[in-house]
Amino acid sequence: MSDALAIRLRDEIRAGGPITFARFMEVALTDPEHGYYTRGASRPARAGDFLTAPEMDPVFGLTLARQVDECWRLLGEPAIFTLREHGAGSGALAVSIVEGLRADRSGLVVARSDGPAPLRYEPVEIDGRRREALVPRLAETAPEVVVGEPDPGQRMTGFVLANELVDALPVHRVAGRPGGIDEVLVGWDDDPAAPLGGRFTDVVAEPTTAALAARLTDEGVVLAEGQPAEVRLADADWTAGVARDLERGYVLVVDYGAPAADLYDPARRPAGTLLAYAGHRALGDVYADPGDQDLTAHVDATALERAATASGLDVLGRTTQAAFLLGCGLEEVFGRLRADPALTPERYLVLRSAVRRLLDPRLLGGFFVLALSRGVPPEARALRGFESVAGGPRTGG
Ligand SMILES: C[S@@+](CC[C@H](N)C(=O)[O-])C[C@H]1O[C@@H](n2cnc3c(N)ncnc32)[C@H](O)[C@@H]1O
């Protein structure tokens, strides 16, 4: 247990009064020394606390590669095309995307007569140790790809990718009350008998910012009395940063979440969606062991789209992960892998189970995929991953 982090948060509250849950979550996840994501433990992977699609099986990245290739072609095959991955983790997704591009003979990974292959890879990863480990991993498995740091002074042409990143951005906690909302802050109750001399506790208070109620009002959401919910104001800063750095290209966000009308429906989600995860299990106490457990809340897809639009990005479509992967040709990729004479029975079983999970609407298949763009002409906005969406790209809540 990272007592140091709990003690730091306790002392901050003792000194200045209750803090927002967003502050608690930000420190618990990203404190440079003891944060869940920053202290260098191995995650996400089989030994970690959860398993993301790219960590589960390369078939996810092999399939997504087709969307990346199509976007490059839609932009007229620029000589430099940057794949910038936010929350790059171990690099598993990048490695499988490059493998997929190679298998599909995409020009993105073929050296040009006048220079290297067009694909550049830029991981944006808050965990410095992971960032460092990514470079040799890519050098070994994808030597044709130039790996670099995002240049803050340079706007990119290419593809921004974020798989299971936005759900880790901090959220405020709120609760409905007649005519408005309360905010649920994090306080500290002294108790000499308890470890660390007390415990974190909910403190119901006036909202610390009017932006919380404004967000819900803009979405037409009225919380029932006492209904707990989360509001992620940080998504606006994230989309603003992405838009600022993108000159021409696409953004793909994959995550668990739902449109606001579903996410804040008191019948469907009476307890909100905030969860703590450790050892592949969802745990009830979000205050336990800050820095040792993941904290996550579903993504409000409506808010994310609105934030993207306000940041100057165009919304191209939203669909489910299952529909997106089928549109990208998952069945064909699966068929190719299955036909490989080197495929062992064990590998086949793992692959088949991964494909099932990716398509199952109750599992990874139910995640949403949101496509955004900037500086892309209308004729380059129809993406294969969104073809199945009735009537063309689907937007809005
Ligand atoms: C759930 S993991 C997903 C990793 C990878 N995208 C995948 O699908 O396997 C979230 C990743 O985002 C990183 N992360 C969390 N907050 C971040 C932030 N604010 N900026 C950049 N990376 C962040 C974490 O360190 C972690 O590697």
d(CA 330, CA 334): 6
- In 61-130, at which residue ranges do the beta strands (DSSP E only) sit? 81-86, 119-124
Distances (CA, A) of 353 to 85, 132, 293: 26, 32, 27
Residue 353 has pLDDT above 60, yes or no: yes
d(CA 129, CA 5): 19
d(CA 378, CA 382): 8
Residues 37 and 326: beta-carbon distance below 8 Å: no
pLDDT tens figures, 218-235: 999 999 999 999 999 999
pLDDT tens figures, 71-110: 999 999 999 999 999 999 999 999 999 999 999 999 999 9
- Which amino acid type is present at position 148? G
H helix or E strand, kind and range, residue 262: helix 260-263
Q: Is 164 in the pocket of ligand 1 (CB under 6 A)?
A: yes
Over residues 276-293, the mean pLDDT reads 85
167 CA closest ligand 1 atom index: 1
Q: What is the DSSP letter of 207?
A: -
Residues 308 and 349: beta-carbon distance below 8 Å: no
pLDDT tens figures, 99-143: 999 999 999 999 999 899 999 999 999 998 888 899 999 999 999
Task: Quickly tell me which residue has 């403190």 as its tokens.
Answer: 203
H helix or E strand, kind and range, residue 318: strand 314-320
pTM for this predicted structure: 0.94
* Domain spans, the chain: 3-31+171-230, 53-169+232-256+298-386
Q: Evaluate the omega torsion of the peptide bond into residue 44 and state whether it is cis, within 30 degrees of 0.
A: yes
Q: Which residue has its alpha carbon closest to ligand 1 atom 3? A: 164
Q: Is 127 in the pocket of ligand 1 (CB under 6 A)?
A: yes
pLDDT tens figures, 248-267: 999 999 999 999 999 999 99
Q: Which residue has its alpha carbon closest to ligand 1 atom 1? A: 164
Give me the torsion for CA of 289, 170, 366, 250, rounded to 10°.
-140
Residue 43 has a pLDDT of 56
Determine the Cα angle at 237 with ends 232 and 240, to 5°.
135
Phi, psi (degrees; rounded to nearest 5) at 212: -70, -50
Q: Is 89 in the pocket of ligand 1 (CB under 6 A)?
A: yes
- Which amino acid type is present at position 303? A
pLDDT tens figures, 293-312: 999 999 999 999 999 999 99
Residue 160: closest CA among 316, 357, 366, 358: 316
User: Which class in CATH covers the domain with range 53-169+232-256+298-386?
Assistant: alpha beta
d(CA 228, CA 237): 24
Residues 93 and 54: beta-carbon distance below 8 Å: yes
Strand partners, 147: 121
